[in-house]
Amino acid sequence: MQRRIRVGVVGGTGYTGVELLRLLAQHPAVEVATITSRKDAGTRVADMFPSLRGRVDLAFATPDEAPLAKCDVVFFATPHGVAMSQARELLAAGVRVIDLAADFRLKDPAEFERWYKMPHACPDLLAEAVYGLPEVNRAAIAKARLIGLPGCYPTSVQLGLLPLLELERRRPGAIDTDSIIADCKSGASGAGRKAELHLLLAEASDNFKAYNVSGHRHHPETAQQLAELAGKPVGLTFVPHLVPMVRGILSTLYVRMKAAAKEDVQALFEARYRDEPFVDVMPFGSHPETRSVRASNQVRIALHRPGGGDLLIVLVVEDNLVKGASGQAVQVMNIMFGCPETDGLQQVPILP
């Protein structure tokens, strides 16, 4: 019988933390050994989150008291800056690290400092860190010690553009890579579990707005990864929006087809994702809804070409807390430890 994977979770009181606990509690090969919180140390997890009663029988511990170095893998469901302050020590102890924040996403420490307003604590580890998008980096993830998990918006944008950018790499001039538009909408949980004015019910409900149009932290990450996929810089306009719902992302992507205007893009997407357990390419002309992926690790993609012209519209939906964060983290862990990739992640989306 395979030894169970001892898991530590740093920062178990936020939305991604409790979502991670929900998924790990259902995983057949996992033992959650410790969960940390400085503020709520000593509080039983099930007292804070009654949804986990009978599933997680632990109390929060301070990071100093938690036996993180005895774990096989530690997830950081924390604000930016926490994982990079502890990663070196854990790696030296033989622990694998999966960071759900941005500490190991950007390869350029100066770019990290520009967007996150803090110097990087271990820039030498950035070269080793593997970007945790399974559909692209599965082989590297399997060998990795340190994972920088993609952001929620970047996951949807990359999966929506991946087959097209791979086509462009094989056949330069297939698409216009200078003017790609990502028009993205997210539910309020994407901002985290915190008290802020713009997230109050009376502020966010019955309202719809764009934000950070002049520059969002996910833009440099997305541009970096799209350039890797295309083999050259990609011109990306990224506009995020807050919509009055709890979970979900809908990204509408606009791409001009050029020399490959007659390419059967539906067949292209279906072939690329045929063996991907969590990417569903819907029939051409479909309209995926965020509720069709709610609480699941599923991504649904649909293609449109208005009037049969050269403009391709790619619709992508995901749950920002699952495939956009904690579910993807569990998927990455499964790959790292040789588990079936779907372990702990086979939940059917909930409706209504």
Q: Which residues contact 189 (CB under 8 A, 6 or more apart)?
A: 15, 246, 247, 320, 321
Query: Residue 23 is encoded by which pair of tokens?
Result: 């998924």
Which of 347, 316, 330, 335 lies closest to 153, judged by CA?
316
Among positive and negative, which fits the CA dihedral 90, 92, 93, 95? positive
DSSP string, 12-53: -SSHHHHHHHHHHTT-TTEEEEEEE-STTTT-BHHHH-GGGT
Domains of the chain, by residue range, sit at 5-128, 153-320
Would you tell me how many other CB atoms lie within 10 Å of the CB of residue 170?
9
- Catalytic, out of 71, 122, 152, 339: 152
Which amino acid is located at 188 in the chain? A
What fold is seen in the domain 153-320? Dihydrodipicolinate Reductase; domain 2 (3.30.360)
> Quick check: 264 and 209 in contact, CB under 8 A?
no
Mean pLDDT by 10 residues, the chain (352 residues): 86 93 97 94 95 95 94 96 95 98 96 94 95 98 98 98 96 94 94 80 88 92 96 96 95 89 86 98 98 98 93 97 98 98 96 89
> Quick check: 132 and 149 in contact, CB under 8 A?
yes
Q: Which residues contact 335 (CB under 8 A, 6 or more apart)?
A: 134, 138, 141, 142, 341
CA 25 to chain centre: 20
pLDDT at 1: 45
Antiparallel, parallel or unpaired: β 209-210 and 236-242: antiparallel
Which of 349, 337, 350 lies closest to 27, judged by CA?
337
- Residue 287, φ and ψ in degrees, nearest 5: -125, 85
Output the CA angle 310-316-319, nearest 5 degrees.
Answer: 170
Same fold, 5-128 and 153-320: no
Listed in sequence order, the DSSP H helices in 25-151 are 45-48, 83-92, 109-116, 134-143
CATH of 5-128, one of 3.40.1190.20, 3.30.360.10, 3.40.50.720, 3.40.640.10: 3.40.50.720
Q: Is the pTM of this model over 0.85?
A: yes
Cα–Cα distance measured from residue 131 to residue 9, given in angstroms and rounded to the nearest whole number: 19
> Quick check: 64 and 44 in contact, CB under 8 A?
no
Q: What is the largest CA-CA distance in the chain?
A: 62
Cα–Cα distance measured from residue 151 to residue 101, given in angstroms and rounded to the nearest whole number: 7
122 is catalytic: no
pLDDT at 204: 85
**Rg over CA atoms, the chain:** 20
Stated length of the chain: 352
